[in-house]
Amino acid sequence: MGFLGPSRKPRGTENQNQIATMSILASTIHRGPLVRAQKTVIYGPEGIGKTTLAAQFPSPVFLDTEGGTHHLDVARFPAPKTWDDVTKTIAALASEPHEFRTLVVDTADWLEKLLIEDVCRRANKTSIEEFGYGKGYVVLAEEVTKFLASLNALLARGMHVLLLAHCRIAKFEQPDAAGAYDRYELKLTKQVAPLVKEWCDMLLFANYFTKIAENDSGRNAVSADASASSIRPTRPRGTPRTGTASRKICRSSSPPLRRLSVPAQKSNQWLRSRIPSRGSRSWSPEKKTW
């Protein structure tokens, strides 16, 4: 009985397989930036001008949860009274024909309050604390995840989504550094805030420009100039601030990054360079383009 050695592949088979693999990769891998709808979060103190800035986005329509657009000439939905009103609004924007190119949620923290009320109502609770052991906040985070996923239908349609939010000052302690310091954070529950940060493409912080001047008595006087307010990308998480003066006055998670800070007068131009504008064309569902 003869010995049967390993079978040999026909010549050229390996080369053909390599060529086929390379052709698949060449047809599926693309290089360069992709122009698509943007997911943006802008947060800052009350009265800084977040709503006014949001009105400069391409063809915005506001989901005004707190009545902050009354002084602006913008398109808006009626203020939602329940969470069901919110979901119906998102579904209508995703399915019905319209000319809007940006959905502005004003604000995310007031929207969270509506969701908390809905979660408590469905569970027959008067407070989210009644769930016990933080279970209510787990349910809340799950519902927020579903809401953010529902916004994908708008993004697929070419609509930008902008979430506005207030801020709060919270104590922060780095695990790899001694001491704690104050920083600005989203005014959301600690379970929801990380989800919103991970979801967005741009996380922007707006704040007043704080000046220090010496008065006649020789003492330092601190003043906040609203006209000189700035908007800037937030710093990478966990990076400590530098400078004693900025720590005492600004109390910000972002240092005075002059290279990245954008003055209020130029913020519209800066945002427009990062938010694709579709011009006056209308949306084509078949081609999924404007």
Q: What is the pLDDT of residues 200-253, one digit of tens each?
A: 999 999 988 777 766 666 665 555 555 545 565 654 444 444 332 232 233 333
What letter represents residue 256's amino acid? P
Asked if residue 189 belongs to a domain, the reply is yes
DSSP SS3 for 230 = strand
Angle at 76 between CA 73 and CA 82, to 5 degrees: 145
In b/e form, how buried is each residue of 72-102, taking b as 16+ CB within 10 angstroms? eebebbeebeebeebeebbeebbeeeeebbb
Half-sphere exposure of 161 (CA within 13 A, CB side): 20
Integer angstrom CA distances of residue 215 from 186, 211, 219: 35, 12, 6
Residue 133 pLDDT: 87
167 has which bridge partners? 186
Token pair belonging to 277: 């504008």
Using 50, 70 and 90 to split pLDDT, how confident is the model at 279? very low
Asked if residue 193 belongs to a domain, the reply is yes
Interval 114-127: pLDDT, tens: 999 999 999 999 99
Asked if residue 129 belongs to a domain, the reply is yes
CB 128 within 8 A of CB 116: yes
Query: Lowest-confidence range among 133-137, 204-208, 286-290?
Result: 286-290
CATH number of the CATH domain containing 160:
3.40.50.300
Asked if residue 23 belongs to a domain, the reply is no
Counted domains in the chain:
1
What letter represents residue 132's amino acid? G
Share in percent of the chain as helix, strand, coil (round to 5): 35, 25, 45
164: left (phi over 0), alpha (psi -120 to 50) or beta: beta
Asked if residue 132 belongs to a domain, the reply is yes
Interval 58-112: pLDDT, tens: 999 999 998 889 889 999 999 999 999 999 999 999 999 999 999 999 989 999 9
Which residue in this structure is represented by tokens 């922007």?
204
Token pair belonging to 77: 């939905």
Asked if residue 220 belongs to a domain, the reply is yes
DSSP SS3 for 80 = coil
Asked if residue 58 belongs to a domain, the reply is yes
Asked if residue 67 belongs to a domain, the reply is yes
Using 50, 70 and 90 to split pLDDT, how confident is the model at 264? low
Range of the domain at 246: 36-272
CA 111 – CA 192 distance, rounded (Å) = 12
